[in-house]
Amino acid sequence: MADDVTTSVAASPATSHPQPATAGRASAARPAVPARGGRRAASSRVRKRLEIAFFVTPALAIFALFVIWPILTAVQLSVYRWKGFGPLVDFVGLRNYVSVLTNEVFTDSLVHNLVIVVMSIVVQLPLGLAIALLLNRKMWGQGLLRTIIFVPYVLAEVIAGVVWFQLLQPQYGVLDTIMAAVGLQGPAQGWLGDPDVALWTVIVVLTWKYLGLAVILFLAGLQGVAEELYEAAQLDGASWWQVQRRITIPLLGPTLRTWAFLSMIGSLQLFDMVWILTGGGPANATTTMATFLINEGTRRQNFGIAGAASVILFVVALVMALAYQHFILRRDTRPDDGGRRAARPRKEATR
């Protein structure tokens, strides 16, 4: 690049054509050198676009087939009354949406989803952070402890669910047996059978399942904190707590915010664990929007209602995701002027 500039600059006083080497004879006959250069740029641009199209098309086609088309079909179904076979003929407009939004089971599901979103973050954030900070210290058995914490996340959700389901059985379950041995007694209807307790039980299991992800992400984020900062802080006589509070956690910000985003979306779409543990019961105490729509669709064959519920779930998730990105993730995704300015002098200095 630098060589190009120097040659063209060197050439310009001698000739009116700035690109003597490549322009060739024909270009000398025509004065429109910039246009020619533009055409060449255009053709390479077209070529580049074709290349992009060539490589992106298969992915886009698959995306369209398996993501866009199902979404459109769901939207289409949501304005019909359809039992699962025969043509779509019974157009009902927005009636399915009204019936979903006025259905107490659905609004309760939405509330359950939101409770799970909040509880996941409120419980897992401090707990995960504490464990990550602990595991980040050099200690014996560090690798083993990290693995143990991460194992629940690696387990298939259904397997974990079935195991927990058996552990939580009333009377004969492991948990109740242990409690009975020390003279305690669980809820009479069991941890999953009591409508007042079931949702909290599910949240405990979810915490167990997903804490590992939080810890691993936080640990990864901690590796990104520059060692010099710790050294500098230590030289200044900062205590371990002060270092964590003033240096580690602020610098972990982007990781924390990204994790919270993933956790939020996951909680909104929660299905498998609830389906295995309670199926949404007892007495609809643990339904989520996803279990609601599966129930309506595959069990009751009200595909229109299920379609409307899925569109509402989509919109809720989209709005929350956009809002989160807009208000919270923005400082991570937007080019940070302050950071750039701070970084640039250092680069120049090293040069």
Residues making contact with another protein (CB under 8 A): 71-73, 75-76, 79, 83-89, 99, 105, 166, 169-173, 188-190, 192-195, 198, 278-279, 281-284, 295, 299-302, 318, 322-323, 326
Three-state secondary structure call for residue 297: helix
- Least distance CB 28 / another protein (angstroms): 51
Is 255 or 278 the residue whose CB approaches another protein more closely? 278
Contact 277, 165 (CB under 8 A): yes
Distances (CA, A) of 184 to 168, 188, 195, 327: 15, 12, 20, 46
- Least distance CB 210 / another protein (angstroms): 22
Rounded (10°) angle between helices 198-223 and 104-135: 40
* Environment class of 86 (CB within 10 Å of its CB; exposed 0-12, middle 13-18, buried 19+): exposed
Is 129 or 194 the residue whose CB approaches another protein more closely? 194
The torsion angle over the Cα atoms of residues 151, 153, 156 and 162, rounded to 10 degrees, is 90
- Least distance CB 282 / another protein (angstroms): 4
- Least distance CB 218 / another protein (angstroms): 29
Helix (H) or strand (E) holding 131: helix 104-135
Is 73 or 242 the residue whose CB approaches another protein more closely? 73
Three-state secondary structure call for residue 80: strand
Query: Can you give 88-128 as a three-state secondary structure string?
Result: CCEECCCHHHHHHHCCHHHHHHHHHHHHHHHHHHHHHHHHH
- Least distance CB 76 / another protein (angstroms): 4
Is 90 or 336 the residue whose CB approaches another protein more closely? 90
Is 248 or 302 the residue whose CB approaches another protein more closely? 302
Is 152 or 170 the residue whose CB approaches another protein more closely? 170
Report DSSP state, residue 13: T
- Least distance CB 166 / another protein (angstroms): 7
